[in-house]
Each structure stands twice: as structure tokens, then as C-alpha cells.
């Protein structure tokens, strides 16, 4: 019988979903959160662990001799030392593409909030401004139409392609910086180079995984190339943006607005200048958090473990 330990299950399942199907695969222990200094103690007898953001280092792997399987409650796997796991013969699996629709929805929620000034006008109405208004309608700031604007996309994975599809449906022109060739992408997307992406985008959506080469993809130099009216969106990885440079660019009106679902350090540090920047809207890494996406996530985690136990592992990383 497998000893299965979930080390940080709360964010994915705070109680509205069920762990019962996972219990059918072995003796299950679920922890909402696990501090780094308690990982070894809690996983000492585990043959399989399920993690979201807990760091599994080579040193930890050495201290878990019974461990044979690591299942990620996520797509990213940079919190696991894959080389050390492979050397020990430990199988590591992830959950690809479970939140594509939800993340794309969040990106456009930010974009529509910014272009239509939804939160600004809603707060105004609740203050009583409409009841005191002489006219039947008023606007506090310029309202932008998406049709006819250029949506720039950095990276065309599952989410980038979904963002492109939605942008096209809104009547936007779509350009992308991608490793794919032009004949590998839909004909409504135009492949462009780095500088063209920055210069031509009215809206720029970052949809790339974090790599050593693209950290601070958005920096002082790249921001200087963008339009003063441009909107920057990020629902991928926080370190793609140099946050100090973005804060300065927003305050200097080098670009118009930013909509972020991720930050360089999470939870957000209290001294992060973007938290108080009036031109920046931030949500707490919730793009993947729809009930539908989390349900798919949990179902795939269970399926991954079942496939491994059946000797037919799937979604193996590394």
C-alpha cells in the first residue's frame, strides 16, 4: 500500500473539492501547508508526495529514502530538483494545460477592467455620483475600444494561443514573439521580432514560462520601446518583469497601465511599489483558481498517480 502525503494542498483545495478519490490509491495524509523545516518529518514514510509550491531539493531527497514519486499540483516544476530525483529513480509528474481557459479569462478580465474603467466607475456610482449627476451618463476617464487595437503576445503556448484567439474575436490585430514558425500558427497571428512586439503592441500579454534567459524580459530598455498608451498584462511568472522599472515607467507615463496576476515575490512584499501604484491593477495569483480549473487539476493529479502505479507513467517531467 502506498503512503501518500500531500504537503501543501490548501490553495488548490481549501475544502470545496474532495480528496476521497486519492484515498483509494493508498494511505493518505493531507497537510494544508508545510514549512520547509517540517518536510522531512512529514514525508519520512511517504512513497509518494503531492506538492504545489514546497521546494524539494537534492538535500531533502537524500533524506527521504522511501520516496519513489513526486506529483505536482501545478504545471511548473522549478521547485523540484529534477536531476536529483532522476538520479534516485524518482518519477516526477506535473499537470499541463489544466488552466488555459481560466488564465486567459483572467487576462481579459484585467484588460476589460482597465479599458472600460469598470472598478473606477463602479466605485463612483456607489459613492452616489450617479444619483447626483445631471446627465443620464458620465465617464471619469477615457474608455477604450479593443477592436482595431494590436494585441502583442510573448510566447504562444496553450495560454498564448488562447489569448490570441480571444483577441482576434474582439477584432484586435494579433502579433506574437514566438519560437514557432509562421506556418505553425493561425493565419490571424503575425510573427514579429522582439523590438517590433514592444513598439507595435497596444496591449502586451506575457504568456511565457520563466527561463534563465527571459528574467526581466520587461525592463527599462524594453519599456522605453513601448507606446505611452500601452497596457502591459502578466498572468504567467512575476520575474518576467523588473518591478522597479515598471513602477517608474508607469509613474513617468512611459506606458499607460499594467494588469498583473503575479509578482516577483509571492505573497507580495509590503514595500513593493506596485501595490500602491494607481496605474497598476493587481490580483493575488488567482488566474488558475476557477473551480473548473482546480477540479481538472486534482483529477489529473490523481490520474497521474494511478498511471504511475499501473506502470504507465504520464506527464513525466525532466
- Please report the DSSP string for 220-283 in residue order: HHHHHHS-TT-EEEE-S-GGGB-HHHHHHHHHTTSSSEEEES--SSSSPPTT-GGGG-TTEEE-
pLDDT tens readout for residues 161-212: 999 999 999 999 999 999 999 999 999 999 999 999 999 999 999 999 999 9
pLDDT (0 to 100) of residue 132:
97
Strand-pair category, 203-206 with 231-234: parallel
**CA-closest candidate to residue 1, choices 31, 25, 29, 30:** 25
Residue positions annotated with a catalytic role: 237, 266, 285
User: What are the E-state strand segments in 159-235?
Assistant: 173-177, 189-191, 203-206, 231-234
Using DSSP, how many helices (H) and how many strands (E) does the chain show? 11, 12
Strand-pair category, 189-191 with 173-177: parallel
Average pLDDT over the chain, rounded to an integer: 97
pLDDT (0 to 100) of residue 165:
98
pLDDT (0 to 100) of residue 1:
80
Distance from C-alpha of 226 to C-alpha of 272, rounded to nearest angstrom: 23
Distance from C-alpha of 102 to C-alpha of 240, rounded to nearest angstrom: 20
Quick check: 152 and 204 in contact, CB under 8 A?
Answer: yes
Distance from C-alpha of 52 to C-alpha of 77, rounded to nearest angstrom: 9
Q: Which stretches of the chain score pLDDT less than 50?
A: none
pTM for the model? 0.94
pLDDT (0 to 100) of residue 191:
98
pLDDT tens readout for residues 212-250: 999 999 999 999 999 999 999 999 999 999 999 999 999
Using the Cα atoms of residue 172, residue 106, residue 263 and residue 214 in order, give the sign of their dihedral.
Answer: negative
pLDDT (0 to 100) of residue 318:
75
Amino acid at each position: 500500500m502506498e503512503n501518500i502525503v500531500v504537503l501543501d494542498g490548501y490553495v488548490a483545495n481549501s475544502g470545496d473539492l474532495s480528496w476521497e478519490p486519492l484515498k483509494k490509491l493508498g494511505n493518505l495524509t493531507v497537510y494544508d501547508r508545510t514549512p520547509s523545516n517540517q518536510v522531512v518529518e512529514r514525508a519520512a514514510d511517504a512513497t509518494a508526495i503531492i506538492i504545489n509550491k514546497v521546494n524539494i531539493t537534492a538535500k531533502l531527497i537524500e533524506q527521504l529514502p522511501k520516496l519513489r514519486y513526486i506529483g505536482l499540483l501545478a504545471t511548473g516544476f522549478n521547485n523540484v530538483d529534477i536531476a536529483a530525483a532522476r538520479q534516485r529513480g524518482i518519477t516526477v509528474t506535473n499537470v499541463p494545460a489544466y488552466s488555459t481557459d481560466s488564465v486567459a479569462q483572467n487576462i481579459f478580465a484585467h484588460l476589460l477592467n482597465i479599458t472600460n474603467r469598470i472598478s473606477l466607475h463602479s466605485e463612483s456610482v456607489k459613492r452616489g455620483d450617479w444619483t447626483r449627476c445631471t446627465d443620464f451618463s458620465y465617464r471619469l476617464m477615457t474608455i477604450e475600444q479593443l477592436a482595431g487595437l494590436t494585441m502583442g503576445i510573448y510566447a504562444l503556448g496553450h495560454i498564448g494561443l488562447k489569448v490570441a484567439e480571444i483577441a482576434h474575436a474582439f477584432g484586435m490585430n494579433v502579433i506574437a514573439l514566438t519560437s514557432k514558425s509562421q506556418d505553425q500558427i493561425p493565419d490571424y497571428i503575425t510573427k514579429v521580432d522582439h523590438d517590433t512586439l514592444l513598439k507595435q503592441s497596444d496591449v502586451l500579454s506575457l504568456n511565457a514560462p520563466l527561463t534563465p534567459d527571459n528574467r526581466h524580459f520587461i525592463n527599462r530598455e524594453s519599456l522605453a520601446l513601448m507606446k505611452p498608451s500601452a497596457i502591459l498584462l502578466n498572468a504567467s511568472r512575476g520575474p518576467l518583469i523588473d518591478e522597479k522599472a515598471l513602477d517608474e515607467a508607469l509613474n513617468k507615463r512611459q506606458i499607460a497601465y499594467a494588469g498583473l496576476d503575479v509578482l516577483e515575490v509571492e505573497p507580495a512584499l509590503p514595500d513593493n511599489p506596485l501595490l500602491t501604484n494607481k496605474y497598476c491593477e493587481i490580483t493575488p495569483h488567482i488566474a488558475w483558481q476557477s473551480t473548473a480549473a482546480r477540479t481538472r487539476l486534482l483529477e489529473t493529479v490523481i490520474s497521474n498517480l494511478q498511471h504511475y502505479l499501473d506502470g504507465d507513467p504520464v506527464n513525466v517531467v525532466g
